[in-house]
Amino acid sequence: MAVLGATGSIGKSALDVIAQGKDHFEVVLLSAHSNGKTLDDIGRLWPEAELVLSGAAGGKESLLTAIANAGADIVLNGISGAAGLEPSMAAIEAGCDLALANKETLVMAGPLVLARAGEKNVHIFPVDSEHSAVFHLIEAHGRNNLDEILLTASGGPFRN
C-alpha cells in the first residue's frame, strides 16, 4: 500500500487503521508535501516504506516515479487540492487500485480519470466523506434515478 499525504488527517487515519491490521498490509510508500519531520517520524513506524517529500526540489517528479515503481496494490491519495491529480493518474498508470480522498482529481478530470481506470482495469474507491456519500447514494438509488447531487461546502477551509 502507498499512502500519499501521510501526514494529513486522511493519511494519519489510514495509517492508524493499517497499524491495527499490520499483519495484512505492507506499506511501500509514504509521502508528504512539506512536513518532513512528521514524515520521518511516521517512516520509523514503517521502515520498509520509501519516504518522499513532494514539496522539495524535484519532489513532484520523485513522487510520480516512486508511485510508478512502488509495486503497491492500492494507493491512498490523501493529497489536498489540484496537486493530487497527477499522483492519481500515476497510480492508475501503474495499475494500482486507487483509494481516493482527493476530490479534485474527479472534479478536474473525472471523465479522463474514470476512462483510464477502466482501460487499466483499476478500481477507484471513495474514502472521503463526500465521495463516500455520493457513492452510497448512487449505489442505493441507481444512477438513472438521480438527476442531480448537490454538495455543500462543509469542510476544509469552509468548516469555520
Read off the pLDDT of residues 31-52 as tens digits, 9 standing for 90 and up: 999 999 999 999 999 999 999 9
Q: Output DSSP code: residue 121.
A: T
- Residues 9, 3: Cα–Cα separation, whole Å: 12
Helix runs in the chain, H state only: 9-20, 36-45, 59-69, 85-93, 103-119, 129-141
**Residue 130 corresponds to which amino acid?**
E
Burial class (CB in 10 A: 0-12, 13-18, 19+), 110: exposed
Q: Which amino acid is at 77?
A: N
**Angle value at C-alpha 60, between 57 and 64, nearest 5 degrees:** 140
What is the CATH architecture of 2-126? 3-Layer(aba) Sandwich (3.40)
Per-residue pLDDT band at 146 (split at 50, 70, 90): confident
C-alpha cell read off for 127: 474514502
Residues in the chain: 160
User: What pTM was computed for the model?
Assistant: 0.87
Cα-atom radius of gyration of the chain, to the nearest Å?
Answer: 16
Q: How far apart are the first and last CA of the chain?
A: 33
> What number is the average pLDDT over the span 49-62?
96
Cell of 139: 449505489
Residues 1, 76: contact at Cβ < 8 Å? Answer: yes
Which of 16-20, 74-78, 133-137 shows the lowest per-residue confidence on average (mean pLDDT)? 133-137
Percentages (nearest 5) of helix, strand, coil residues in the chain: 55, 15, 35
Cell of 123: 478500481
- Mean pLDDT throughout 138-146? 86
For the chain, give every residue range classified as CATH 3.40.50.720: 2-126
